[in-house]
Amino acid sequence: MADPSPKPVPLLKDELDIVIPTIRNLDFLEMWRPFFEQYHLIIVQDGDPNKTIKVPEGFDYELYNRNDINRILGPKANCISFKDSACRCFGYMVSKKKYIYTIDDDCFLKACGGFSDGSGILFPEFLFLLTWKIVGLGISWGVHSRFLMVAKDPSGKDINALEQHIKNLLSPATPFFFNTLYDPYREGADFVRGYPFSLREGAPTAVSHGLWLNIPDYDAPTQLVKPRERNTSSYLDVDGLAELVSVYFRYVDAVLTIPKGTLFPMCGMNLAFDRELIGPAMYFGLMGDGQPIGRYDDMWAGWCVKVICDHLGLGVKTGLPYIWHSKASNPFVNLKKEYKGIFWQEEIIPFFQSATLPKECTSVQKCYIELSKQVKEKLGAVDPYFNKLADAMVTWIEAWDELNNTSEQTTSKQANGAAK
């Protein structure tokens, strides 16, 4: 019998690392196997370094725990957060690839129920009404807690989030002039009448920021007043497939470039970026254990990144792809983490809105060091935490430069484990 056909080589297979922060076994990777299996993973284990994290067979990965971080960075390890998913940025630092995709380990679809038509085929519960209306089959209902899959688009097709991020990164951005047809480089679209021809080449895309179905990325106060709000429909009283799909998902089929001069709240749950263009600015700050604030790690990075991208003429996109965020975090725990940040952001946002970088800042590192000085000068008066954060920003750049001057072989040997 002939060997099966080899799997097609995915886009940027040898140029992209997938970074995953975790405190648990990575069973969720089984749902992503068709899309992730041929890529290299960098797993950053948070919490107890003596705990063994299990990774499904067949994945190529490196795993770093806190002991590895301390050994590799030495005294500079204090710039990497502990007991917080902000530790993921260590994976950005040790990567040697041009591109990074980072995803949380609770991003998959877990249906709490399902139905069977008697043939042994199990369907997710949200297709129940559709099948009943269209086919009229005799259906038996049951709970199937192991029904797991990735998110689907409105047509029912699995969303290959990584592929969409890559497409976003490989096509230009339009930060200097807004195109009312959204992404002009997408098939079937173009620049509208009145768009300057001198700007139609666009700018390099540094960041692709994806979105979420199901659990929205809300702050604690919003979670508390909207505890049941989901990016899904709460009922399915419709007559046909097209209507069902449009009701079930609030799914916007678009990618937008965030205009120059406009900040945004970046979420690290479903994020890709060009490490060579903007990597040194992707520092997720000081969060978690021993820090007065949490859940602002990705947003801090996003504000720094956007100011630097605007200065260097780089683009930041948001929109597709969607992933399914399956787990709602505790809003009371979140409120405790966010409490100071909710007040501080009223000072932080104006700071970044007014931040300017001198023309001498021609690299990401120079821009970031300059930002750290401004953080200490202007936000240090808000709370001493910002002086500490500004120092950590400098330490991060020093560690980044030191580590990225070492050979790939030296770095990979220091990983806690690698497997295929």
Output phi, psi for 143, to 5 deg.
-95, 130
Q: What is the pLDDT, as a whole number, of residue 132?
A: 35
Model pLDDT, residue 179: 98
Q: What is the mean pLDDT of residues 57-84?
A: 98
Please tell me the distance from the alpha carbon of residue 239 to that of residue 250, in angstroms, as a whole number: 18
DSSP character at residue 9? P
**Which residue do the tokens 């991208």 mark?**
309
User: Taking 90 as the threshold, does the pLDDT of residue 410 lie above it?
Assistant: no
- pLDDT for the residue numbered 327: 84
**Residue 152: pLDDT band with limits 50, 70, 90:** confident
Indicate if the alpha-carbon torsion angle 181, 271, 310, 260 is positive or negative.
positive
Predicted TM-score of the model (pTM): 0.87
Taking 50 as the threshold, does the pLDDT of residue 234 lie above it?
no
Q: Which two tokens stand for residue 145?
A: 């807690």
Per-residue model confidence (pLDDT) at position 6: 75
**For position 4, what pLDDT does the model report?**
61
- CA–CA separation, 386 and 38 (whole Å): 41
Task: Identify the pLDDT of residue 113.
Answer: 41
For residue 236, give the 3-state DSSP assignment.
Answer: coil
DSSP letter (8 states) at residue 119: S
Range of lowest pLDDT (45-49, 210-214, 406-410) = 406-410
Pairing of strands 16-22, 40-45: parallel
Name which residue leads in pLDDT, 121 or 25: 25
Judge whether residue 389 has pLDDT over 70: yes
- The whole-number pLDDT of residue 130 equals 38
Average pLDDT along the chain: 87
Does the pLDDT value for residue 200 go beyond 80?
yes
| Single-letter amino acid, residue 223 | Q
List Cβ neighbours of 299 (8 Å cut-off, separation of 6 or more).
Answer: 265, 266, 267
* CA 301 to chain CA centroid, nearest Å: 12
pLDDT digits (tens, 9 = 90+) for 104-146: 999 987 654 443 344 333 344 444 333 333 333 343 333 333 4
For the segment 263-320, what is each residue's pLDDT rounded down to a tens digit? 999 999 999 999 999 999 999 999 999 999 999 999 999 999 999 999 999 999 999 9
| Cα-based distances in Å from 375 to 264, 285, 395 | 18, 12, 14
* Tokens standing for residue 161: 């989030």
Dump the DSSP string for 142-167: E--TTEEE--B-TTSPBP-HHHHHHH
In this structure, what are the phi and psi dihedrals at residue 82, rounded to the nearest 5 degrees? -125, 140
Question: Sign of the CA dihedral 242, 245, 246, 247?
Answer: positive
Both ends of the chain: CA-CA distance in Å? 26
Residues 372, 396 contacting (CB under 8 angstroms): no
